[in-house]
Amino acid sequence: MDESPAGPADGFFALRTTAPPGGGHHPLARLYAGEQAPLTARVDAVAARLGTAERRVAASIAHLGLAARLWSVALGPAAATGRLPDLSPGALRWDPRSSSPDDLWLDGTGSLPGTADRIRETVQYGHLVPLAEAVHRDGPLSDRLLWGNAGSALAGALRQLVSWAGSHRRPDVAARARALTAELFDHPDLRTTGAPHDAAFRRRSCCLYYRTPTGGLCGDCVFERR
């Protein structure tokens, strides 16, 4: 997979910058505009992988995975270089057939200042709000759960960045990532999703993973036991 335009480029931070083979990537703008088939296919695939017949469980896990990718490909470059790629929904393409982490291809080269306000505008407003609407079209999931997923995904991206920064001797990246994340959590939709607003985050809702046949509790789960 191609590297992100800037910053850590492994796992959830990787971002294709050239057209992948197969033609399975869809602009996220089409999903947000009402083209539901890619999300339906993604939820079906997650349900099959997890062995669950509860569609809302699979929809929550699918949402959490994509939210984690969206935060990561913005926060990583912003923390590492002070810039982030222009992740507009028309340019950011997603392959619903891929395994985790979700496969993203950025069909563009623009960049933006790596501030918390720009990340919020790009990811929270530009993607997570319309993504939640698309998930609601698939089936009933509460806004509290979906914003909890968003908060968990943001904190997870921070944890990975802090770990990367430590292994690469980049305390500056860790410091910027922490500062940006703290600002991002200072918003009504994210502020009450869990605490503290750093790498030790513990959420106040549940993603429902424990309801899968082999699922346990996530590291930041609200529950003490299954």
Give the pLDDT confidence of 69-105 residue by residue, as tens digits.
999 999 999 999 999 999 999 999 999 988 888 999 9
pLDDT band, very low/low/confident/very high, at 109 (cuts 50, 70, 90)? confident
- Of 17-26, 111-120, 160-169, minimum mean pLDDT range: 17-26
Q: Summarize pLDDT for 179-216 with one digit per residue, the tens.
A: 999 999 999 999 999 999 999 999 999 999 999 998 88
pTM (global) more than 0.85: yes
Residues 16-44: pLDDT tens digits? 988 888 778 999 999 999 999 999 999 99
**Domain chopping of the chain, boundaries:** 11-211
pLDDT at 164 over 50: yes
> And the tokens for 77?
């470059």
Handedness of CA 184, 18, 8, 215 (dihedral sign): positive
What's the DSSP call for residue 16? B
The pLDDT value given to residue 56 = 96
Query: Closest Cα to residue 14, out of 106, 124, 99?
Result: 106
The answer for residues whose C-beta is within 8 angstroms of residue 10's C-beta and 6 or more apart is 164
SS3 132: helix
pLDDT score of 5 more than 50: no
Q: Quick check: 54 and 60 in contact, CB under 8 A?
A: no
Cα separation values, 216 from 127, 206, 225, Å: 28, 12, 9
Handedness of CA 107, 44, 145, 162 (dihedral sign): negative
d(CA 16, CA 5): 9
Average pLDDT (122-150) is: 96
Within 13 A of 62's CA, how many CA atoms are on the CB side? 33
Instruction: Look at 226 and 160; give whichever has higher pLDDT.
Output: 160
CA-based max dimension of the chain:
46
Which stretches within 139-170 are classed as H helix? Answer: 143-167
pLDDT of residue 1: 39
pLDDT on residue 79: 96
Confidence tier at 143 by pLDDT (50, 70, 90): very high
Q: Is the peptide bond before 101 cis (omega within 30 degrees of 0)?
A: yes
